[in-house]
Structure 1
Amino acid sequence: LEQATEKKKQKPQKIFALILINLDRFKNINDNMGHKVGDELLRRVAKRLEACVYSNDLVSRIGGDEFAILLDDLPTNAEAKSVIERVNQEFSRSFFIDDNDIYVSLSMGLAFINDLKLKSTEILRNADLALRSARKNDDGYKIFNGRMLKDYKTKANLEADLQVALNENQLFLVYQPMFDLIRRRVAGFEALIRWNHPTQGLISPADFIPIAEESGLIIEIDYWVLKNAAKQLKSWNLRFNKTKNMFVSINLSARNVVLETSASDISACIRKQGIDPENIKLEVTEGVLMNNMRVASSVLSELRSEGFRIQLDDFGTGYSSLSYIQKLPIDSLKIDQSFIRRMDGGKQDEAIVKAILALGAGLNLEVVAEGVETPYQLERLTEMNCDYAQGYLIARPLVTEEVEKRFFIKK
């Protein structure tokens, strides 16, 4: 790559490009067919890639399931795309290994070596950013552009700021009430994290939580939320009698769900604040469980044995099936708000909600309806014997002082 950049400096009119290639779901092949088959597949992938390029181009394996192609002295930019098209065409055919037809899909990131000031590490970074974009959007391949670099730097800055935010009290919690439709009272609250950035103001969790998950900061954030939500519940219990039997619901990240020490660590964190785990609901999404069912189920079982209640969040949007729900160590389902919103459309749109409620009743699971925004939705959910409702109709997420004024302090 450094030689190519030197050639480019000597002859700026020449066109060079770098393609990074990732084998999609290669780990599954290794796990299901064994490392011997996986190693043979990698050898054949390399040969097939070499057949797609010219003799002066370079194909190299740079990681477990990653390859690089350095395109040398292209006639036009379009030729780089032609190489990618040839690669896609070659990989539309299966690999026959040990009596198995193995189909391999690829994600590719292409970066042209245009800027003479770029170092080889920066060219690699650009191709990697294009590759990440291709994998994220499931597009097959992406060509690097300036927007990708701008987004990368923005995320990098936000990640650095997020670490500071954890240390300097820029994060805070808001609480959205969960209304008991049977007893007609607020039964608990979902604790939701917010970030008040010193220069950018309020930053949406949708913007900073994915960054925290990628960087690993999400584990630290999880414990920050657990500690402060439990601490707040303890404070309410000491000051208001009506909160004694209330619960707080807290979202648990994928990283924590697959850590084998999570159950004891989370329990210790909650108990240290003077709260019994029975007053805490932990919310996990379907996708989190399905990505590592065995470990996640084990961790959740341990959490339940500690006294925590487990709630399956965004239910109905992922892998819902009776066969796996029966096996999960959960206590309740939270219907995704997209289904609740459509209830106003009529009986047909209520069918999914009814089915989930019937599933919950059949498995002895409580059911929470999320995203309740209209009186009609609340009325129908009550008639259908839904256990809890949560949404803007009842209350938006509120800061601590507003929660106390609205629900605890006698007027």
Structure 2
Amino acid sequence: MRSLDGLRGVAALVVVLGHARLVALQNIDSPLFQLPGIRHALELLALLGAHSVWLFFVLSGLVLSRMMLSTANFDYGNYVLGRLARLYIPVWAAVALTAVSMLLIPRDSPGLGPWVDAHPDTYLPSAIVNDLLLITGSTGNLSPLWSLQWEILFSVLLILYTACLQKVPPLVGLPLTIALCIVGQQTDNQALMYMSMFAVGTALAIAWDQLTAIRDRVEERMRNVWPLYVALLMVACVLIIALQILPRLLAKFGVPDLVMSVGSMVSTMVALAGAIVLVGLATPLRAVFEIRAIQWLGLISFSLYLVHEPVLLAAVYLFRGDPVAIAVGLLLCFPIARLFYWAVEKPSHRFSRRFSRSKLPVEPVPTTAQ
């Protein structure tokens, strides 16, 4: 699903730009940031950055569920081992990179902005062990790790997701999983909220063949009016972005907090699901997200997500928030992520594939590492 790889790359880019935005706003005093167009663009970037990680969750639910549902004689034990290797090896390398960067460039300069100052200034051994395991969450030394706890848990529980949602009609599965996200949000239950986002992806995976058939019928009918079809897709993309802004518009009209909170979750999850369906199925959008530059972002997206924060923070602390240093640090994130992909993530891919080609022991072993 190459176009969805591209979408994941764009989402990772938005996360990086969102963090760079925080560093810039909190360290650079420029009137340019207050100009109407730029100010609104920065606010939209902050909103999209926050929701990009949710997009990762839904994408993982879709891709892993599709893989399982479309593979004959799926070996779940080998899949789990390979998936854990695929996730943990880059995480361990990113933790090591963060620890080394903190040794070389101490984080001992307060006053560089709330986001920068919120990061711990020392990486204690207990915190390193915690981040290496990700069993009880992350410590904040490398903040992107917070999402990997949920990725790992979903990867292990994938068979339960597919088994449960296959018993639900596809038209029911999507609203049901979004409703679970709302329940988790309203009860302040992060586990329920985030784990239900993966379920949204699983619901999409189960309905994917039906959605593909609908796409085929629509594109066949629009074949003679292709420019109109492209225009309608552009309108749909604008509506997806508008759904992200809708809650803020409701707030200006005095809508009750509960209604606004529920509406925010519904609009966001519908927008994310809609974006995935359009990019994954609509031929014109697939072509856009399969161009070389976006595919390159997709290739390094996981590495970029893991390494961009220590690179940005190193630039900020080393040069005390200098604007040029912030810009250089932002640019350096991309070649360093590419190097990280080549040195760490790609070998982890090859290592994880060994499990898909191997067989687990036939005879039981005395102990099992879970």
With the shorter chain as reference, the TM-score category is under 0.3
Greater relative CO, 1 or 2 (CA 8 Å, sep 6+): 2
Task: Return the TM-score normalized by structure 2.
Answer: 0.27
Higher share in strand: 1
Task: Return the TM-score normalized by structure 1.
Answer: 0.25
Greater Cα radius of gyration, structure 1 or 2: 1
